[in-house]
Structure 1
Amino acid sequence: MLGGVAVGAALGVLAAFLGQVRAPEGLLLLLILAGGVAGAFTLSRRILHVGAGTLALLLSLCLLTPVLRGPLNALTLSQPPQRADAIVVLGGGVQCGTRALEGSSQTRLLAGLELWRAGYAPTVTVSEQSDVFSATCPKMSVIEREVIQALYPQNGPQVVTLTNVTTTTDEAARVRDLVAARGWKQILLVTSPSHSRRAAGIFASQGVTVISVPAPETRFDSTLPLPSDRLYALQTVLYEWLSRIKERVGGTQER
């Protein structure tokens, strides 16, 4: 049973990191208990060990070789920027406790502002997250507006807020409405590289054709020279794959 608990704890930590689960403590506890129960019986213990061993081999392959370069590149849609009516900066998250933008949000916003400063479009959109996950969390759009105001106290971009969004589909729907109301013809879409192809597809499903101009990847080196880079790349690839699977089976789409 102790061996099963140890395997369950290891699987829980791996799941919490790679799956970016929203309640890692609960999942960790469940896997610890399940591992302990499985370890108490011969057949289930063998199944647990074989499964954990197979997973360890696959994880080692991903960590020791750059095998994820292909899958990672397949997630990215990068196109040359063109003159447009608006730059849509997709939300990446906010740290509720520190009231700071997550790294992906910061990078996307700065990339969008670089496009504005280069004269590609006069308008930048920011996203206001809904209260689905935390009603007490500061609004991402408010923080982003503060960043823009601090960087450009005068003569900054026109900023439009996409209100009450939970997923990329919500953002695409808000932009679709703006396209109809304002007569926008061309949109520059800024998000993380690994999210760019899926995001462009979601916007296309809403009838909005975009030019995908991803922000730089800052979480890891996309050439995957180090095991740490490959570990974060594995997290990213799994998240995007699972998001696609979840969408195809009719589940709630991820951000």
Structure 2
Amino acid sequence: MTGIPSNRPAATGRDASAAGGPDRDISAKQRKRTVRRTLFRGALFFLPAFCALIWFFRSPILTSVGNYLVVSRPLQRADLIVCLMGVPVPRGLEVADLYKDGVAPFIFVGREEPPEGIEILKARGAHYPEPRELLITMLCELGIPESAILTTDKIMSSTISEARIIRKVALERGFRSLLIVTSPSHTRRAWRTFRKVFGKDRITLGIVPTPYALFRPDDWWKKRTCAKEVVIEYQKLLFYILRYSL
């Protein structure tokens, strides 16, 4: 019996591959599961090893983090010692030492923004000493003549505003060299800020960290106050880099 020709078209390559589609899909899913399982096992092995490595080298790593913030560019002689505001006692102590060592004939003390509610307090006849007053009093009691202390009534609300006001004072008085004193963790940001503000002015800048601060690069993470100080300082440094292109 002669076969009747079929009018059904022959299966194309696409149809043939589709016929094996389910098997190929299952195989692909299995490969993906195998890859994910391998990656997961690798993570389980390497993550604890990585954490253990970090823990083992935590001291040198954290010390490097602290050391990066500290900049020291001392000057043997300067026209003016600048005491940056913020932490008056440790900074003021170093300023007094430098003045007594004959590093500079003048000291500059800035004025911080007065505390909230100060005007109401004054209206009621009460006096609240500003940090500037306290710092000047401290310096005088440490043997610094009041005639050697310079100040301004312009309010300094940030490191960059300090740099801008001090630059104006230096140019007006003809100072050719300034030695900045601040806290160790603040020195890098202060140094970069002053160099940015003074730019091409022919004024020599120096900076020293006060040795009377609690902060130490090799154990800052062991003290809550210093740990907070480092975290905040890195945040401010990043902001200054982005905002002022330090």
TM-score range for the pair, normalised by the shorter chain length:
0.5 to 0.7
Question: Given residue 90 of structure 1, which amino acid in structure 2 is its aligned partner?
Answer: L
Q: Using the alignment, how far apart are the partners of 2:112 and 2:226 within structure 1?
A: 26
C-alpha deviation, 1:228, in angstroms: 2.6
Q: TM-score, normalised by structure 1?
A: 0.62
Contact (CA 8 Å) 1:127, 1:140: kept in 2 or not?
no
Q: Using the alignment, how far apart are the partners of 1:233 and 1:68 within structure 2?
A: 12
Q: From the superposition, tell whether residues 111 and 187 of structure 1 become closer, same or farther in structure 2 (CA, over 3 Å).
A: same
**Alignment partner of 1:73: what SS?**
helix
Aligned CA RMSD, in angstroms, stands at 2.9
C-alpha deviation, 1:84, in angstroms: 0.6
Residue in structure 1 matching 2:148, options 158, 163, 169: 158
Q: From the superposition, tell whether residues 61 and 156 of structure 1 become closer, same or farther in structure 2 (CA, over 3 Å).
A: farther
Contact (CA 8 Å) 2:183, 2:213: kept in 1 or not?
no
**Alignment partner of 1:176: what SS?**
helix
Q: From the superposition, tell whether residues 67 and 151 of structure 1 become closer, same or farther in structure 2 (CA, over 3 Å).
A: same
C-alpha deviation, 1:186, in angstroms: 0.5
Question: Given residue 233 of structure 2, which amino acid in structure 1 is its aligned partner?
Answer: E
Question: Given residue 174 of structure 1, which amino acid in structure 2 is its aligned partner?
Answer: I
Matches within 5 A, 1:1-255: 65=59, 67-92=61-86, 104-131=87-114, 134-136=116-118, 138-152=129-143, 155=145, 158-162=148-152, 163-207=154-198, 209-216=204-211, 218-224=213-219, 228-229=222-223, 231-250=224-243
Gaps of 5+ in 1: 1-56, 93-103
> What are the Cα deviations for residues 36-94 of structure 1, in whole angstroms up to 9, with x where unaligned?
xxxxxxxxxxxxxxxxxxxxx8xx959x74531101111111123321100000011xx
Q: Using the alignment, how far apart are the partners of 1:117 and 1:249 within structure 2?
A: 39
Structure 1 segments (4+ residues) deviating >6 Å: none
C-alpha deviation, 1:249, in angstroms: 4.3
Contact (CA 8 Å) 2:66, 2:216: kept in 1 or not?
no
Count of residues in correspondence between the two structures = 179
Contact (CA 8 Å) 1:191, 1:213: kept in 2 or not?
yes
Identity among equivalent pairs (%): 27
> What are the Cα deviations for residues 155-187 of structure 1, in whole angstroms up to 9, with x where unaligned?
456111143111111111111111211111100
C-alpha deviation, 1:201, in angstroms: 1.0
Question: Given residue 123 of structure 1, which amino acid in structure 2 is its aligned partner?
Answer: F
**Alignment partner of 2:110: what SS?**
strand
